[in-house]
Structures are given as C-alpha cells and as structure tokens.
Chain A
Amino acid sequence: ETGVTQTPRHLVMGMTNKKSLKCEQHLGHNAMYWYKQSAKKPLELMFVYSLEERVENNSVPSRFSPECPNSSHLFLHLHTLQPEDSALYLCASSQGKDYEQYFGPGTRLTVT
C-alpha cells in the first residue's frame, strides 16, 4: 500500500541553502514520523507527531525543523546542512503511536 507520498524524491543542496521536504499521508492516520536512513546503519527516528503535536525529538540538530500543520501533512525544513546529513529521509504514518507504521518512498538528500 502506498498511501504515503514524499516530495521531492531527490534533492541536491548546498550547505547554505534552505529547502523543505514534504510528506502527505492518505490513510487517515493520526501519527507521523521522520526517519533518517544512512548506509548500513539502522533507521534513526528523528521526530514523531501525534495528533499534530510533537511527542518525540531525538536530539536532532536544530538545522532540521519539523512542521505538522494537520494530521495529513508533515514537513521537514532544512537549513545550513552538513555533508554528513546526506541520507535517505523517510516519512511514515500510523493509526496511533502503538500501531504499525507505513512508510513513504523517501527523499534522497545530497548535501554538497
């Protein structure tokens, strides 16, 4: 099931740029997540929103700023990133925080 969409699919940005990643879920879920996936490392949970309220922030640098305007949309605002931030950024949603998570296709981010 591909009820979670992410745009853009690929993004190349310089360290001084500002960009935003967008996630939209069409599943009627009320929890949304941002994960970072780097090569050969476990998925790292970055942020969790439940009913539009941020409930988890895993010590993510302030150059990453999430926004959840409603239960269907989630953004990740990026500012002055570092090359080590290059990774696949995955969005997921679930019916609630204890329910199964469904992932989007991800945004492949390259910071130059």
Chain B
Amino acid sequence: TQLLEQSPQFLSIQEGENLTVYCNSSSVFSSLQWYRQEPGEGPVLLVTVVTGGEVKKLKRLTFQFGDARKDSSLHITAAQPGDTGLYLCAGRTDSWGKLQFGAGTQVVVTP
C-alpha cells in the first residue's frame, strides 16, 4: 500500500511557466521532505517541513506543509530547464522515523 500519492505523475511545461506538484496521504507525518532526482543520480534533498501550515521558499521553489501534516505541495515559479527532474516527497512517520516515499512527479521544462 502506497502511503504517499504524488500528482501528477508527469508534467511537461515551457520555460517561464509556473507549476505545482502535490503529495497527499491519509497518514500524519512528523515531517516531510522533498527531493529532486536527475537521471542517473540519487535524490538530492531540497527541503524539510515540520510544522503544519509551514511555508518554505528556496529561490523560485515554494514548499507548503498542510495544516494537518498529511499533505504538501511544491510550487515552482518561472520554471527553467534546470528544474527538470523527478520530484519525490517523503514523509516521516512517528513510529521509528522511517521515511515513506511517493512514486514521484516527473517534471520536464523545455526551452
């Protein structure tokens, strides 16, 4: 059973457009992390959100953790080709801190 649902599965946009990807669960997480993975590489940590309702910004990327700590979103403003990659969310449960990963959203930004 997949605890984290990411949507959409695939997103293709033109450079300069905005995009939002979603990460949803029926479980409550103590924290949630977003990673970006490029072909042939491992995931690279972008941000960790901990508090319900928290918003973090990383340049053109805005991350939000839902009030109930069950969902999160990633918004990219004025996307660039360098933003291309597989975006993964991972939630940490309270049981012993294990990370549960979503299947990812593949984002392609074309010039």
Q: Which residues of A contact B (CB under 8 A)?
A: 4, 6, 9, 40-43, 45, 48, 56, 90, 92, 97-98, 100-106, 108
Main secondary structure of the interface of A (DSSP, over half): loop
> Which of B41, B96, B98, B102 touches A106 (beta carbons < 8 Å)?
B41
A interface footprint on B91-111 (CB within 8 Å = 1, 0 otherwise)? 010001111111110000000
Q: Does B72 contact A (CB under 8 A)?
A: no
By a CB distance below 8 angstroms, the chain A residues around B42 are: 4, 6, 90, 92, 103-106
Assess A100 versus B4: contact at CB under 8 Å? Given A40-B9, A56-B98: no
Q: How many residues of B contact A (CB 8 A)?
A: 24
B92:A43 contact, CB within 8 angstroms: no
Q: Which of B12-20, B43-51, B58-66 contacts A (4 or more CB under 8 A)?
A: B43-51
A27 to chain B minimum Cβ distance, whole angstroms, is: 12
| Contacts beyond the supplied A42-B100, A45-B99: 5 A-B pairs with Cβ under 8 Å | A4-B42, A41-B103, A97-B97, A98-B92, A108-B40
Are A43 and B101 in contact, CB atoms less than 8 angstroms apart?
yes
B21 touches A (CB below 8 Å): no
In the complex, chain A residues whose CB is within 8 Å of the CB of B100:
42
Q: Are A42 and B2 in contact (CB under 8 A)?
A: yes
Residues of A within 8 A of B84 (CB): none
**Neighbouring B residues of A42 by C-beta, 8 Å:** 2, 4, 100-104
| CA A104 to CA B37, docked complex, whole Å | 11
* Residue in contact with B40 in the complex, picked from A101, A102, A105, CB distance below 8 Å: A105
The contact of B48 among A6, A100, A104, by CB within 8 Å, is A100
The residues of B that contact A104 with a CB separation of less than 8 Å are: 42
For the complex formed, measure the closest distance between the CB of A36 and the CB atoms of chain B, giving whole angstroms: 11
- Tell me the minimal C-beta distance from B39 to chain A in angstroms: 10
In the complex, A41→B101 CA distance in Å? 9
Shortest 6 CB-CB contacts between residues of A and residues of B: A103-B42, A98-B97, A43-B101, A42-B101, A97-B97, A42-B103
8 A-B residue pairs with CB within 8 Å: A6-B42, A40-B104, A42-B2, A43-B101, A90-B42, A101-B99, A103-B43, A108-B40
